[in-house]
Structures are given as structure tokens and as C-alpha cells.
Amino acid sequence: MKLDLAFSGPDPSFSFEFFPPGTDESAATLLETIETLRVFGPTYVSVTYGAGGSTRARTVDVAKRIKNDLGLEVVAHVTCVGHTTDELRAVFGELESAGIENVLALRGDPPRGQQAFAVTEGGFRYATELIAMLSAEFPFAIGAAAYPEKHPEAVTFEDDLENAARKVQAGATFLVTQLFFDNDAYFRFVERARAIGIGVPIVPGIMPITNYGQIARIAKMCGASMPERLHFELEARADQPEAVAELGVSYCTLQCADLLARGAPGIHFYTLNRSPATRAVLSALLAARNMWQPSASRRASSPVTIA
């Protein structure tokens, strides 16, 4: 199923992101983790692509196993980093042959130890170029990244928003956001995106907080701000790992309920290859479904509805 069609239904989508494991043993563990989340009926599962294409083979392998062995819809991430255009065509050809219908096209992060993105000779400089090639040569539904608080390398928010528009013009049919903790940032982004003609679904990406030091590093790396009160409460529990995780799951549940109640088309969970926190959040959300389920009229008028 192509995902550009999946976001238009009456129910919100739930999806999970995993990174490819480093060994065959951990690959088996990952598939078990994904299996435990099937009960929630995910719209799709996505598999990331290591910096510099370092996990290319495992990304493709795990994506194929999720699709063929588990019977779940899958989105395979592919980046420009470290690949020529011909190498990328070979990757996409393999994915297409495996029956995978959805990809997330990204520029990608520099390999470890390299500070800035460098164009591979014979490769692409921007995600927009990758998306344009995919749109012209392959039948995939194409997703792309969006940044509610601006990409760290973008000079201004307006520049970054225009870049998102270029991705859509090149052929992206849905956007998935970087993680954030302030829902107003997401809705401001969506409102401004709609104002410049971006009409595709914009799915919020959310990460349940389970470790204070870890989330602080991730937030700094991707430029995600944290509400002052949440930061204060996390710091107060910094030496109590269980209390941090408990607060993190509670905050994430409230955050997701608010996003859905205000019309978001779904939630994409960054799982870090773990299922307990995501399971807890989804269990609470589904138990309180009537608290966040918007009416048909409210959803139709929502700023995140497909234009």
C-alpha cells in the first residue's frame, strides 16, 4: 500500500521507526520487538539508513523481512551520502523487486568523524535531487523530512520551509517531522506550510523520553527545544532513571493526545529499537480514544488535513 493514500482515512495512523541492527542476532531481536507492536496495527514500520550508507545492506534486508516475513507495510530510508546515482538506482531496484512501495528520501548525515556533508562524486547534493529521480524513475510513494523548528543547517526558518516545498514539488507525497516536544511548534509549522501551498500530509515525529542524558544529546543534535517546565522536571529526576522514564511516558502520552485531538494525521514514533515506552504510550492513547478523536468536521477543517 502506498502511504500517500493511507493518511486520508478517518482514523489516525501510528508508525514506528527502527534502525538496522549490527548483527544477525540483534536482527532477530529487532524483528521480535516489531512483532510485539503489531497488536497496535501500525500503518507502517520504517527502517533507517546509517550515516554514509554504512547500513545499506542491513537496511534493505530488514525492510524486506518486515514486508515479507511479518506482513507489515514498510518504509525504507535511503540517503544520498556515500553513493553515486547508479548505486542508488541499484538500491531502489532491489527494494522495488522486494515489493516495497514506500521510501523516505533523505540527504543524510555525514559519516562519523566528518563534520560537514560532502557530495559523493557522481552523486546527489540535495534530497530534492534524489526525490526528483525517484519520482521520474520508480513507482514508490516518496516521503521526506520536515523540521518544525528548522533544520540545524538552515539559515532561516523561511529558507527551510521553502526547501520543504521544493521536496514536495519534486515528488514527495508525505512529510515526517523531526522530533519535537512543543506541539505549538508543529502546528505553527503546518500552518505556515499550508500558507505556501504544501498540501501533503505532515506527520509529527515523536520520541518518548526514557533517559535524561540521552534525550538531552539528541535534542541538541537535532535542534529540538524543550519546554522549560519539562526540562525542569527532568533535571529534578536526573539521578532517578525510573522516574525519568515514568515522566517521559506520561508527557509523551499527553503530547500525542493533544496532537491527535487538534487534527494531526497520526503519530510516527522514534523507538530507538525499544518497544516498552511506545507500547505504554499507545496503550494509554487507545484506552482514552474518545478524549482525542476529533469529529469528522473538525478533522476536515484541521490545518494538517491533506489540501
Question: Is the pLDDT confidence value at 297 over 50?
Answer: no
Looking at the structure of the chain, the number of domains it has is 1
Greater model confidence, 113 or 285: 285
Query: Does residue 9 fall inside a structural domain?
Result: yes
Read off the pLDDT of residues 156-198 as tens digits, 9 standing for 90 and up.
Answer: 999 999 999 999 999 999 999 999 999 999 999 999 999 999 9
Backbone φ and ψ of 44, nearest 5°: -160, 165
User: Which positions are catalytic?
Assistant: 17
CATH of the domain at 255: 3.20.20.220
- For the purposes of burial, counting CB atoms within 10 Å of the CB of 224, is it exposed (0-12), middle (13-18) or buried (19 or more)? buried
Give the C-alpha separation, 30 to 146, whole Å.
26
- Rounded to two decimals, what is the model's pTM? 0.90
Give the C-alpha separation, 142 to 40, whole Å.
24
**Which residue's C-alpha cell is 530510508?**
77
Please, what sign has the CA dihedral across residues 76, 165, 111, 213? negative
**Which residue's C-alpha cell is 478517518?**
10
Backbone φ and ψ of 228, nearest 5°: -55, -45
Read off the pLDDT of residues 216-274 as tens digits, 9 standing for 90 and up.
Answer: 999 988 889 999 999 999 999 999 999 999 999 999 999 999 999 999 999 999 998 88
Give the C-alpha separation, 76 to 102, whole Å.
7
CB atoms within 10 A of CB 71: 8
Give the C-alpha separation, 76 to 94, whole Å.
11
Query: Does residue 305 fall inside a structural domain?
Result: no
Domain that holds residue 8: 3-300
Please name every residue paired with 18 in a beta bridge, in sequence order, or none if there are none.
47
Cell of 243: 522516574
Q: What is the largest CA-CA distance in the chain?
A: 53
Query: Does residue 63 fall inside a structural domain?
Result: yes
Greater model confidence, 113 or 79: 79
